[in-house]
Amino acid sequence: MKIFCDNPGSCIEPGGYELAHDPISFNCWGCGKEIDGAREERVEGGSLNAYLVGTCPHCGADNAQPA
């Protein structure tokens, strides 16, 4: 997904910025087993934040935590 500045002349990336969604393996916060998820970027309140996201196939926990 590409985001664009809505205030031209005041943005670092006036041509837009591609949000990351990169596959990554990490340990589930619920059961501790390794899961396949992603590191993704989100725009929240004007800030660019990174998260580890994925649903655990072992315990069903929704793993969406700041990276």
Question: What confidence category does residue 3 fall into, taking pLDDT thresholds of 50, 70 and 90?
Answer: low
Identify the pLDDT of residue 10: 56
Q: pTM score, two decimals? A: 0.69
**Is 31 or 5 the better-scoring residue by pLDDT?**
31
30, 56 Cβ separation under 8 angstroms: yes
Give the per-residue pLDDT at 67.
80
When pLDDT is averaged across residues 45-61 and rounded to a whole number, the result is 90
Mean pLDDT, residues 35-46: 87
Residue type, 47: S
- Is the predicted pLDDT of residue 50 greater than 70, yes or no? yes
What is the rounded distance in angstroms from the CA atom of residue 15 to the CA atom of residue 9?
11
Nearest by Cα to 34 from 51, 17, 54: 54
Calpha distance 1→17 (Å, rounded): 8
Query: In this structure, are strands 2-3 and 17-18 parallel, antiparallel, or unpaired?
Result: antiparallel
